């Protein structure tokens, strides 16, 4: 017999957080066509709240919805501290998530990198996930980025990158033929994820990177932190700020921009000016 605790956690997804989490998850799956018949999806788990909830959402979808896809719950250890590895293991056991774990030495490799170690780490992690997922027969990897990540990325690209772009709900891999990346939590607010964790008394790893271990205490800031603070400030003036930021990248008027890029080719407004 399954423990009552995990059944209550699962019921909270379908009932208590049906509107704010479950329906937003299933809407993203439908709207962005994230799952097709015969898919084998590597659900990539970092051990944080977002990816752990994503794993449970996939389990619930398979249990209550379409059952025409396979799941692998993939954990990469880039060099976590022992206590973080143990917390991931305990949470997976509590939530009845069967993990497939593989080891890497990414943290050691980037330890002495002075220029953009976070960028290199992210690239390497993504590559390892694709490689191991493909070796397991998967054709997709699922990442736990949520709505707040999306709108923050839009503002970061404008303010710090001088361009307009965002995280896409799905992408074809450029380096691993036949592989795709999907983001099924694309429409779920981070506050809803936090509320689900608090409701069920769940605690997940927060900042597992050894180079930013003080991030939760506020001792280390980042551009994303700055953008989060900016959005909070703007929200005080308008309740639709976040929705408008999100909608801005799907309501682009090409007649009202100086230029844009598509498939690597740049266009300037004077090209077609009459």
Average pLDDT score over residue span 231-257: 93
> For 51, left (φ over 0), alpha (ψ -120 to 50), or beta?
alpha
* 72 part of a folded domain: yes
Instruction: Yes or no: say if 213 and 207 are a contact pair by the CB < 8 Å rule.
Output: yes
Count how many residues are written for the chain. Answer: 274
Average pLDDT score over residue span 249-264: 93
pLDDT of residue 218: 39
> pLDDT tens for residues 35-49?
999 999 999 999 999
pLDDT of residue 105: 77
Residue 74 in tokens? 């993939």
* 246 part of a folded domain: no
Write the CATH number for 122. Answer: 3.40.50.620
pLDDT of residue 136: 96
> pLDDT tens for residues 115-164?
666 777 778 888 889 999 999 999 999 999 999 999 999 999 999 999 99
- Residue 178, pLDDT > 90, answer yes
Residue 199 in tokens? 């409701």
* 109 part of a folded domain: yes
| CB-side neighbour CA atoms (13 Å) of 238 | 9
pLDDT of residue 249: 95
pLDDT of residue 42: 98
* 218 part of a folded domain: no
- Residue 220, pLDDT > 60, answer no
* 36 part of a folded domain: yes
* 250 part of a folded domain: no
- The strand pair at 259-262 and 265-268 is best described as antiparallel
Give the domain extent around 142: 4-154+164-213
Average pLDDT, the chain: 89
SS3 33: coil
pLDDT of residue 207: 60
* 99 part of a folded domain: yes
Cβ contacts of 188 within 8 Å, gap of 6 or more: 20, 21, 24, 25, 28, 146, 147
How many domains does the chain divide into?
A: 1
Q: Which of 104, 99, 79, 80 is nearest to 89 (CA)?
A: 99
* 223 part of a folded domain: no
The residue assigned the tokens 């909070």 is: 232
């Amino acid at each position: 017999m399954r423990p009552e605790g995990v059944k209550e956690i699962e019921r909270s997804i379908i009932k208590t957080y049906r509107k704010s989490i479950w329906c937003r998850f299933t809407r993203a799956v439908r709207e962005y066509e994230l799952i097709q018949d015969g898919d084998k999806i590597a659900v990539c788990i970092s051990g944080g709240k977002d990816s752990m909830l994503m794993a449970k959402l996939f389990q619930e979808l398979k249990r209550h919805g379409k059952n025409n896809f396979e799941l692998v719950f993939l954990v990469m250890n880039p060099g976590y501290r022992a206590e973080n590895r143990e917390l991931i293991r305990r949470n997976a056991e509590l939530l009845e998530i069967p993990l497939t774990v593989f080891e890497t030495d990414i943290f050691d490799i980037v330890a002495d990198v002075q220029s953009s170690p976070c960028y290199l780490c992210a690239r390497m992690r993504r590559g390892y996930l694709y490689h191991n997922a493909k070796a397991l027969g998967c054709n997709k990897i699922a990442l736990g980025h949520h709505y707040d990540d999306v709108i923050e990325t839009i503002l970061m690209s404008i303010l710090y990158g001088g361009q307009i772009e965002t995280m896409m709900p799905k992408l074809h891999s450029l380096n691993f033929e036949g592989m795709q990346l999907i983001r099924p939590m694309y429409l779920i607010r981070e506050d809803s994820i936090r509320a689900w964790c608090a409701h069920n008394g769940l605690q997940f790893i927060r900042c597992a990177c050894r180079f930013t271990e003080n991030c939760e205490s506020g001792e280390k800031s980042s551009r994303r932190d700055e953008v989060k603070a900016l959005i909070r400030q703007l929200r005080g003036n308008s309740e639709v700020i976040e929705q408008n930021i999100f909608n801005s990248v799907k309501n682009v008027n090409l007649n009202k921009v100086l230029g844009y890029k598509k498939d690597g080719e740049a266009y300037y407004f004077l090209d077609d000016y009459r």
